[in-house]
A and B are shown apart, each in its own frame.
Chain A
Amino acid sequence: MSGNLKQFRIVLVCFLSLFVGSLSAQTIKGTVKDNSGEPIIGATVMEQGVQGNGGVTDIDGNFTLNLKGNTKKIKVSYVGMKPQVVNVAGKNSLKVTLDDEATSLNDVVVIGYGSVKKKDLTGSVATVSSAALQAVPVANAAEALTGKMAGVQIMTTEGSPDAEMRIRVRGGGSITQSNEPLFIVDGFPVESISDIPANDIEDITVLKDASSTAIYGSRGANGVILVTTKSGKSGKVKVSYNAYYSFKKIAKKLDVLNARDYTTWQYELAQLKSGESISNYEKFFGSYQDLDLYDNVATNDWQDITFGRTGHTFNHNVNINGGTDALKYAFSYAHMNDKAIMLGSNYKRDNFSLKLNTKPTKNTTFDLQARYSMTNVRGGGANDATSTYDSDKRLKYSVIYTPFPINNLNSDSGSGDDDLGNLYNPVQSVYDNDRLQNRKNLNLAGDFGWEIFDNFTAKTEFGYDLTSNYDKRFWGTTTYYVKNVPASENQNMPATQLQQTDRHSFRNTNTISYDFKKLLNSKDHSLNLMLGQEYIINKERVNTNIIHGFPVNYMAEDAWRLSTQGTPYMIRDYYYPDDKLLSFFGRANYNFKDKYLLSATFRADASSKFSKENRWGYFPSAAAAWRISSEPFMKGTSKWLDDLKLRFSYGTAGNNNIPSGQLTQVYENNTTSWINGISNYWAPSTYMSNPDLKWETTITRNLGLDFTLWGGKLTGSVEAYLNTTKDLLIAFPVSGTGYDYQYRNMGKTENKGLEASFTWHAVNAKNWGIDLNGNIGFNKTKIKSLGMMNDFGAESYWASSEIGNDYWIAVGGSVGQMYGYKSAGRYEVDDFTGYDATKKKWVLKSGIADATNVVGQIRPGSMKLVDQLTVDTDGDGKPDAGDGKIDTSDKTIIGNANPDFTGGFGINAHAYGFDLSANFNFSVGNDIYNANKIEFSTTGKYQYRNMLSTMAAGNRWTNLDPATGLITNDPTKLKELNATTTEFSPYTDRMVFSDWSVEDGSFLRLNTLTLGYTLPQLVTNKMGINSLRFYVTAYNVFCITSYSGYDPEVSTMRRTNLTPGVDYSGYPKSRQFVIGLNLNF
């Protein structure tokens, strides 16, 4: 090691000595500053006409240059600033002031396996810079993108600190499979970017069309998100320290019935259910005459008890970076500790990263990078979207649990399958469903670049990524799991699952690139060529231990520490088949007179997920751009039009997003507790193998127009696209054949849309400025074909199997179509001929459809549903009448989770050291399936549950005659009692999904609002500090929406991709306030 270091130093010394040289005819000394007077570090100073004579400015912006040639001109340049050529004839010292590049046209944009100047882009690419990321602190890099990029929809599915971010680039083409984009961090494909601190990020680029994603070939179909982390910059050591402290509270609570009203309703419900329900009621609440005792009963605000605490977060990070031209380094450490708003919920993360960029010789580069992150997520009761056991979605109890303690309410009070009426103390629910996740990620990468001869560079990169996730779950005595899964001797005793997942990825990429400028030797033509090859292998292993039968008083901590106290149920080490990907790719960029730009990309991928015959996928694409503003005929516009570029691209990208190992049917071993005398069995997987699987392919067409006006004051772009995905990889339902599903290539989807974005530097004065930016994206998604099928249903299962299919996937529709009944309000007294005392039921008038099969025994006030036209009475082949009863044939499409358009806008202003930024995001036209509303306002088969105050007395239909305390069946009386009520009676037999619970989820949210103050340089300089900024930020400041639930940005049933937009028992969102500082020295 030390030997290596020594050699390294020698190389460094040699390298530095290159710049020393010997004094000759003319020596120029100078300083380079920006227009605020700040020295520019690392600006390049080159003598014109002499190859290789130049240097960079030091930390004070100074340079020294010995002129060797005769032009007497030097060129000073710096990224993001206008280069200047200065005549130095006869001078030996000078001051150069570089102006900011008025436009961002020369910004370098990272694209796959390389980068390109923004003005030379031909594809559809969106970028968020570090400046934008830094201005507002976020825990999660993806969060920073919210509302910032047209066509990129980012949704936080819940309010928990580790909530999944759902990212969709232009809708997504897959149906059953994930539509997550491909995440690439510094060239390395990763599972998620949530463990990267925002402060470490240099920029985030989203590749949207195939001409840009095709270089990622196989996996680019859903877009590519490229994250580049910060590298060292040569110059003096820079240290930046950022810290913030935040506190947060639940953003919205739902009102529930008060004690008296709750008790009254329980009485009415017991009367309606009749029989034993009445004696049970009396056991718990006393007699009807005693109802007034509940007027002053103290109630528990369970929402406040479970989510009401003030969460707080402390987050700080330090970045150290600097170096010389030959060796640049960047080190960062970040720590975050988030105590969330819910009981027992917190989040902790530590990140380290080190990046070294070296230039051992003139024509070689050698870079090393290491990133390490440690995340602990403690989540008691958080909604586990993939849980098999629906009753574990338990945050609902904080709404429906009895508002005051009921002494005798014990497990005998249950109904049907669920004891206790499926009602548990919310606090115990939380602790009985505890979870702790320890995630560790180590990423190591190195690359070596070598300019073998002029303009010909070869680069080889190696990377290794290790992800380890230790996930501990705990099921306490109130969970469905412990009541049903363990063998009987261990039933009703706590259980735990300890699961260790290890994932190793290795990547090797080799590229060569050649710039043909020497060969072409022309001012007008330029051609670049890049060829590459890549190999990636992923290995994954999951070790699962499930232990049942812990002592009943054990809490999560006890069970995790003392695992031998339980009885092992399953010990399984599962090794997945390796996932290998071998690729060859190439790209050519051609540019004629900076006016006509052409680029072509080709990638060939071989995936081990497919058989030899279908292994290779070929993904070509091409793009052309025409810089109209450079045409002679546009001369007249040059005063106000800096740049106008028309782009068109066409290309293909692929997708192999299915689990590996689908090619042959093999035996898997599974644990079981269902069969006497055995604990495991061999059986084929429930997915039938399919040796014929092949790549899913997306073809994208993109037309874009970029413009820059008024000296860069206004920039923007408008784009239109049409994406079609064919040979969809679908988990096809084949039940009835012996298997449940089979992965197949079938069907076709289409996404088309329009996007626009702009940035306007409205004011850019010396001491103040205002920038406005905005973007909007319209996307329309459509299923063109489902192969041999026309349609199929999907279940969200939030109410177990009570509701059945509540999503409908059909040709001509889209994923996210909600499927249920149309509400017709409630049955009024006039819908009935009267009450039949012998049959003990209300008799409907003829022509009024009977909803008994769906709602349960009906009477005035019961929920009423629309009887769809299903019967053809006149024989014209078209249904023209209802069948008089409500059943599954009356279900229809009642909502769509897909928004019409989404976007965001923001304002950034600064004046005399103060800065202000506000970022809004919005979504319009999407529906939300408010399952909470159903469960919180109707009884289903349950008793003793509380309800939302929308169902308070006076609102809900009542059947209770206050004079007698009994259910009345007198039509006039019922009419009179309900003259002013508006809602139906909450009493139902089961949960019913109708459009009554489908709500418009459109919203406009002021996502962040920040006010900062940067101390004047005069002050900070004295303190030896470069800059110091204090700020306050508020998150989720307000949200304008008509949605009645906790928050319109929600999607909690994520077991399959087919049921988006369900709001059920989720972790509520919070409102957060932050104070922080940015310090640089």
Chain B
Amino acid sequence: MKKYIKLSILALSLAGLSSCDMDAPNQSSLDPSVVGYTEKMAESAIMGIHQSFGETNSYRGRFIPYYGMNTDVEMINIPTLAQTPDGGKNDLCAYNATPNNTLMNTSNNAYAKFYEGIERANMVIDAIKQYGTPASRPEMAQLLGEGMTLRAVLYLDLIKGWGDVPARFEPISSNTMYQERTDRDSIYVRLLSDLKEAEDMMPWPNDNDKTKNVERVSKSFVKGLRARIALYAAGYSYRADGTIRRSNAPALSVDNMYKIARDECEDVINSGKNKLGDFKTNFTNLCMDKTDAGNESLWEVPFSDGRGRVLYTWGVKHNAKDQYTKQAQGGVNGPLPYLFYDYDNKDTRRDITCVPYDWSNEAKAKQQLRKVNKWCFGKLRYEWMGRIVTSTNDDGVNFQYMRLADVYLMAAEAINQLSGASDAWGYMEPVLSRVLPAEKVATLKNKYTANKDAFFNGIVEQRGLEFAGEQLRKADLIRWNLIDDKLAEAKTKMQALRTRTGAYADLPGSVYTKTATDGETLIIYGLNHGETDDAGANLVSLNGYEKTSWLEPDSKTGVLKIDDDLINGLYINTPSTHAIWPIWQTFVDNSNGKLNNTWLGF
């Protein structure tokens, strides 16, 4: 008997232990219900989307440096046919991207990080809708709207980069994990309705604390973005059926879309919440990290001062750590050689956009002449910054995603389409009159308002001059179906420039330079139309200028400054059909057979 008592005690104690709770909840983490309910947490989750923008091979190191090249105003410095295909950056820029591109085909590429941002947006949108009662809490509604807007930014760039892409608007689950490409039209429709919903939840710039800064989304940006999406949605693109065409969807008709663009842009302009300031000030503010809302800038990717490769790739080149920067970078991408000469001599945008010099390889650096095939973009400059960059890899300048001039020109474009040039001029004029003398503006008015087509051509021309180096050109040319023409024209123009014929016949063969008394500024003669080598020779003999052969061929070897290698390297496949990057092989491999690039020929 005793035995059995002992045994049963034992059995009982075993049974007691076996009923242990085997669940192990997460501890240092939060449930979506908390994040979606608490304003601070939800805001912090929105910041999680920005984090995806900043990842190494996301916007920060891949999309910003390589998307948008080459166009009739922008090129990688310097495209060469000899080095294409290179499997790398030349291929990306010269319309020859293959799924195995060495720069892009990594699992942490922008493509993946954009979807990471989308998943984060989907999660926070879902959480706020479920737990945040946005209908009765405007602060939660604003965060909801911000999440939807950032998601739209990501999708728009995905479509620009890769065409039809998988659409995910709910947090991922094992059922939705693998998806095929979704027709871009349906994504556009969704984005337009999302942003319509978001608009009403967002305050105008400076209407509350969160919109005092262009690093946060305001109503102005949501509307501007919706206008941009509408124009892209109505535009041409290379489709999965192998044709280049506009959307067949009636909802995305030109008429519908241009009306949206017009209405949204007019709302922004009429609200008076943002002001077109001085052209240059917009960029010096950007360089100085001035992000107060209400000015020209509508929204910027909020890189902290130690993150991002904006100036690093798009700025004026510094060859050494010097008085302006402890990071010797810049000049990775630059304007086409003729862009400078396409501006009117008096156009103040010219010298800000195109810079013929870089900074010498000295601790106390000075400007030194580059070469005509190797200009720098000048909208971003270390020397304009309010701080000294110390990071070896990142400059921390924000990426300006949209500015008011774009809204004006979108409005002008839409109105020209809907009701003609004279109605539209009112929206183009403010953009021009701040950079050109009145008489030049009047001349352009006459030229552009002649008819609808003339005005459209004016839009094409002015968007190029206004936004060169801001990554808008490629998408613009694609939606207008002008990319093939304009890039072919770019080759012709380079031919003309190097032989100083046509529009470039009135240029001297050399430039004449002298360092100013401040010891760093380069005074240059010979870049303006109408300047001559004779006058330059005088400057050499009388004023101590130095002569540098610029457009003329090398006096000894006869080698052209803009060689065939550059001209032919601008694009090596038909741009219109090769503008869309393939989805990189690693993602195709990871897609469980759902993704392919067959329509792109891979």
Within A1015-1045, which residues are at the interface with B (CB < 8 Å)? none
Bound-state Cα–Cα, A349 to B115, Å: 49
- Is the CB–CB distance between A666 and B87 below 8 Å? no
Chain A residues in 8 Å Cβ range of B22: 580, 582, 606-608, 612, 615
Q: Which of A584, A615, A668 has the most chain B CB atoms closer than 10 A to its own CB? A: A668
User: Known contacts being A584-B18, A673-B306, A692-B174, is A736 close to B111, with CB within 8 Å?
Assistant: yes
Could you tell me the distance in whole angstroms from the C-beta of A477 to the nearest C-beta in chain B? 11
Q: Which residue of B lies closest to A583 (CB)?
A: B18
Q: Which of B22, B31, B319, B590 has the most chain A CB atoms closer than 10 A to its own CB? A: B22
Bound-state Cα–Cα, A577 to B13, Å: 27
Contact of A740 among B83, B102, B112, B557 (CB under 8 A): B112
- Is the CB–CB distance between B390 and A739 below 8 Å? no
Contact of B589 among A510, A574, A575, A789 (CB under 8 A): A789
- Is the CB–CB distance between A681 and B321 below 8 Å? no
Q: Which residue of B lies closest to A542 (CB)?
A: B28
Bound-state Cα–Cα, A566 to B81, Å: 51
Within B559-602, which residues are at the interface with A (CB < 8 Å)? 559, 565, 583, 586-587, 589-592, 595
User: Known contacts being A483-B391, A735-B107, A736-B111, is A676 close to B302, with CB within 8 Å?
Assistant: yes
CB of A677 within 8 Å of the partner chain: yes
- Is the CB–CB distance between B306 and A690 below 8 Å? no
Q: Which residue of B lies closest to A411 (CB)?
A: B321
Chain B residues in 8 Å Cβ range of A683: 45, 48, 51, 120
CB of A954 within 8 Å of the partner chain: no
User: Known contacts being A668-B29, A682-B41, A889-B100, is A736 close to B587, with CB within 8 Å?
Assistant: yes
Within B292-350, which residues are at the interface with A (CB < 8 Å)? 302-307, 319-321, 326, 328
CB of B116 within 8 Å of the partner chain: yes
What string of 1s and 0s marks CB contacts (under 8 Å) between B1-23 and chain A? 00100110010011001101011
Within A648-675, which residues are at the interface with B (CB < 8 Å)? 660-661, 664-670, 672-675
Main secondary structure of the interface of A (DSSP, over half): mixed
- Is the CB–CB distance between A484 and B392 below 8 Å? yes
- Is the CB–CB distance between A512 and B10 below 8 Å? yes
What string of 1s and 0s marks CB contacts (under 8 Å) between A475-513 and chain B? 000001001111110011000000000000000101010
Q: Which residue of A lies closest to B56 (CB)?
A: A801
Contact of A417 among B28, B107, B393 (CB under 8 A): B393
- Is the CB–CB distance between A674 and B51 below 8 Å? yes
Chain B residues in 8 Å Cβ range of A668: 28-29
Could you tell me the distance in whole angstroms from the C-beta of B578 to the nearest C-beta in chain A? 18
Within B19-53, which residues are at the interface with A (CB < 8 Å)? 20, 22-32, 34-35, 41, 44-45, 47-48, 50-51
- Is the CB–CB distance between B24 and A580 below 8 Å? yes
CB of A92 within 8 Å of the partner chain: no
CB of B185 within 8 Å of the partner chain: no
Bound-state Cα–Cα, A485 to B17, Å: 49
- Is the CB–CB distance between B107 and A853 below 8 Å? no
Bound-state Cα–Cα, A582 to B88, Å: 53
- Is the CB–CB distance between B304 and A675 below 8 Å? yes
Bound-state Cα–Cα, A1036 to B115, Å: 52
CB of A839 within 8 Å of the partner chain: yes
- Is the CB–CB distance between A666 and B29 below 8 Å? yes
User: Known contacts being A488-B396, A673-B307, A738-B172, is A888 close to B102, with CB within 8 Å?
Assistant: yes
Contact of A674 among B303, B583, B595 (CB under 8 A): B303
- Is the CB–CB distance between A577 and B589 below 8 Å? no
CB of B394 within 8 Å of the partner chain: yes
CB of B123 within 8 Å of the partner chain: yes
- Is the CB–CB distance between B83 and A667 below 8 Å? no
CB of A19 within 8 Å of the partner chain: no
Chain A residues in 8 Å Cβ range of B24: 577-580, 608-609, 660-661
Bound-state Cα–Cα, A681 to B147, Å: 14
CB of B119 within 8 Å of the partner chain: yes
Could you tell me the distance in whole angstroms from the C-beta of A1038 to the nearest C-beta in chain B? 43
Extra contacts, 15 of them, besides A492-B326, A673-B304, A681-B47 (Cβ < 8 A), are A276-B361, A414-B392, A419-B392, A453-B6, A488-B387, A606-B22, A661-B29, A667-B30, A670-B51, A673-B306, A678-B44, A684-B123, A792-B589, A838-B559, A887-B100
Which residues of B line the A interface, CB within 8 A? 3, 6-7, 10, 13-14, 17-18, 20, 22-32, 34-35, 41, 44-45, 47-48, 50-51, 54, 60, 82-83, 85-88, 100, 102, 106-109, 111-112, 115-116, 118-120, 122-123, 168, 171-172, 174, 177-178, 213, 215, 289, 291, 302-307, 319-321, 326, 328, 361, 363, 387, 389-394, 396, 398, 557, 559, 565, 583, 586-587, 589-592, 595
Which residues of A line the B interface, CB within 8 A? 276, 411-412, 414, 417-419, 452-453, 458, 480, 483-488, 491-492, 508, 510, 512, 533, 535, 573-580, 582, 584, 606-609, 612, 615, 660-661, 664-670, 672-678, 680-684, 686, 688, 690, 692, 733-740, 788-789, 792, 801, 804, 838-839, 841, 852-853, 885, 887-889
A selection of 29 A-B contacts at a CB cut-off of 8 Å is A412-B361, A414-B392, A419-B321, A452-B10, A453-B6, A487-B305, A492-B390, A510-B10, A533-B17, A582-B17, A615-B22, A660-B24, A665-B171, A666-B32, A667-B32, A667-B35, A677-B213, A681-B44, A681-B45, A681-B50, A682-B30, A682-B45, A686-B116, A690-B174, A733-B586, A733-B590, A735-B586, A736-B586, A804-B106
